[in-house]
Chain A
Amino acid sequence: MGILDIRNLSVSYDGKTILSDFDLSVSKGEKILIKGRSGIGKSTLFRIIMGFSVHNSGEISLDGIPVDSEHIWDIRRRVAYVSQDTDIAEGKVSDLLDEVFSFKANKDNPAIEDLESIMDELSLSSGLLNKQYMKLSGGEKQRIALVLALISGKDIFLLDEVTAELDADLKHKVVEMFFDNSQWTVLSISHDREWEDKALKVIDFSEEANNGNIRH
């Protein structure tokens, strides 16, 4: 059994089938790239794993724990999900960090000590902490969201277009950071070549669609 198991997953919205009998098994430490044209249901898959969207049928389990209303809160504490929508906060960046680390689940998280070094690695100066989050550039917002995922202490990552607004150097660096840790399980939705160059397993939703596992 893998760390993430998806069996016969079917999803439809407003009468439109997005996924049909979709299967996926991910082993611990695996790095998977998910690609395919936009609107095909890649992000929906992540949202379902996080319990933000519902599926019609099929089973999903994470480390043997079923993704259902009873366990979803534990699953959210185990999975680091970075959405492509970076509109995640108002106010100062430091307030955002303080808030996240005030959550009961994160209070005793030792990973916060890595904050400075990770920000540094992603070329974010510490002066950024005093800036208004909304005034940051798209790339800076993306990196702040990534920093929060990286210091969350979690080991399963669902990354949705997290490098889209970064320059080539940073794209490369971010990909390296995730691939360097053999314990981390990473599912990344991306159109960036940097992920494709490294990923051992690529799921092409467009091909799955042709095979009848994804309808559109």
Chain B
Amino acid sequence: METYDISLEGMLFSFLLLLIPLVISYYLGLKLTSSTLESAVRMVLQLVFVGIFLTFVFDLNNAFINITWVFVMVIVASHTVLKNAELKTRNLLPVLVLFMALTNYSMLLYFNRFILDLNNLIDARYFIPIAGMVLGNSLKANVIGMENFCNEIQRNENRYLFRLSMGAEKTEALVPYLRKSMRVALKPTIANMATIGIVFLPGMMTGQILAGASPIVAIEYQIAIMLAIYVTTMVNVFLGVLVLIHRGFDDYGMFKKELLRNP
């Protein structure tokens, strides 16, 4: 089986679809016209760039380049998480990058070694797309986790102060907030896992089937990647909140509001 290439005409037809959201936005006064266009343009530029870049990276298949590229992905992901969680990057970014790099590299090596049983653990064809799947899918949960933690500690500050006045250490007083943030952040991933295949056909599986793989192989990959995503998401959310617990409070144990973009 071979995948049909999409012709230029076909690509134009796909852009034609954009008219629908633009018309709806115009008539309902959603004011989404410029952001829709901007996002679409960004998507095209980024994907064209990545397409060229990945062709080059796959041809070279150099371990150093592959590892470096994944590191760049980790930096961008960490930055996106902080930005979307309305946090300033200055104090938090380096340590978040370090943690996320650690979990993601470990997961990738484990995946390639024990699940796929590859000879070359850093083979670009596996290393980079799987890194993208794992990182991309854990990103949203990380935003929810860190944002929820910051919101709760401010909204329910009194409960935290109460625990401190009852003699709790900072970490003891913050455990309930950690639990809550992790539960909220992981819920969508858990719901995803439970409905996969019925409610939606995941992108990876669809891609493999379109590329000519048998549905059975596609399913094997999908199960393995879902589990990898869930584990990485949980560890990433945990580490993200841990970064906040360690960096987000002053010597008195008070939350540093100056870390927020809009204090």
Contacting residues, chain A, for B252 (C-beta < 8 A): 51-52, 54, 69, 72
- Interchain CB contact (< 8 A) of B167 among A54, A72, A88, A103: A103
A88 lies within 8 A of B158 (CB): yes
| 5 nearest A-B residue pairs (beta carbon) | A69-B251, A105-B167, A88-B162, A81-B165, A51-B252
Contact with B along A72-97 (1 / 0, CB 8 A): 11001101110101011100000000
Contacting residues, chain A, for B2 (C-beta < 8 A): none
Contacting residues, chain A, for B159 (C-beta < 8 A): 87-89
Kindly state whether residue B5 has any CB partner on chain A within 8 Å: no
A104 lies within 8 A of B172 (CB): yes
Instruction: Report B177 CB to chain A, min CB distance, Å.
Output: 12
B172 lies within 8 A of A76 (CB): no
Residues 104 to 125 of chain A near chain B (Cβ within 8 Å): 104-106
- Interchain CB contact (< 8 A) of B165 among A50, A69, A87: A50
Instruction: Report B162 CB to chain A, min CB distance, Å.
Output: 4
A-to-B contact residues, CB < 8 Å: 50-52, 54, 69-70, 72-73, 76-77, 79-81, 83, 85, 87-89, 99-100, 102-106, 145, 148, 152
B158 lies within 8 A of A106 (CB): no
Q: A51 to B250, alpha carbons, bound, how many Å?
A: 11
Q: A177 to B193, alpha carbons, bound, how many Å?
A: 56
Q: A99 to B165, alpha carbons, bound, how many Å?
A: 13
Contacting residues, chain B, for A72 (C-beta < 8 A): 251-253
Q: A145 to B161, alpha carbons, bound, how many Å?
A: 13
Q: A103 to B170, alpha carbons, bound, how many Å?
A: 10
Q: A10 to B104, alpha carbons, bound, how many Å?
A: 50
Pick the most buried of B159, B163, B168, B253: most chain A CB atoms within 10 A of its CB.
B168
Contacting residues, chain B, for A83 (C-beta < 8 A): 158, 161-162, 165
B-to-A contact residues, CB < 8 Å: 156, 158-159, 161-169, 172, 176, 250-254
B172 lies within 8 A of A52 (CB): no
In the complex, residue of chain A having the shortest beta-carbon distance to the beta carbon of B252: A51
A106 lies within 8 A of B156 (CB): no
B166 lies within 8 A of A148 (CB): yes
A80 lies within 8 A of B165 (CB): yes
Contacting residues, chain B, for A77 (C-beta < 8 A): 167
B165 lies within 8 A of A106 (CB): no
Known interface pairs A51-B252, A51-B253. Does A79 touch B165 (Cβ–Cβ under 8 Å)? Answer: yes
Q: A167 to B253, alpha carbons, bound, how many Å?
A: 36
B156 lies within 8 A of A100 (CB): no
In the complex, residue of chain B having the shortest beta-carbon distance to the beta carbon of A86: B158
In the complex, residue of chain A having the shortest beta-carbon distance to the beta carbon of B165: A81
Instruction: Report A84 CB to chain B, min CB distance, Å.
Output: 10
- Interchain CB contact (< 8 A) of A87 among B156, B251, B253: B156
B167 lies within 8 A of A52 (CB): no
B166 lies within 8 A of A100 (CB): yes
Contacting residues, chain B, for A106 (C-beta < 8 A): 166-167
Contacting residues, chain A, for B168 (C-beta < 8 A): 100, 103, 105
Pick the most buried of B163, B164, B166, B250: most chain A CB atoms within 10 A of its CB.
B166
Q: A89 to B160, alpha carbons, bound, how many Å?
A: 9
Query: What are 16 A-B interface contacts by the 8 Å CB criterion?
Result: A50-B164, A52-B252, A70-B251, A72-B251, A77-B167, A80-B165, A88-B159, A88-B162, A89-B162, A100-B163, A100-B166, A103-B168, A103-B172, A106-B167, A145-B162, A152-B166
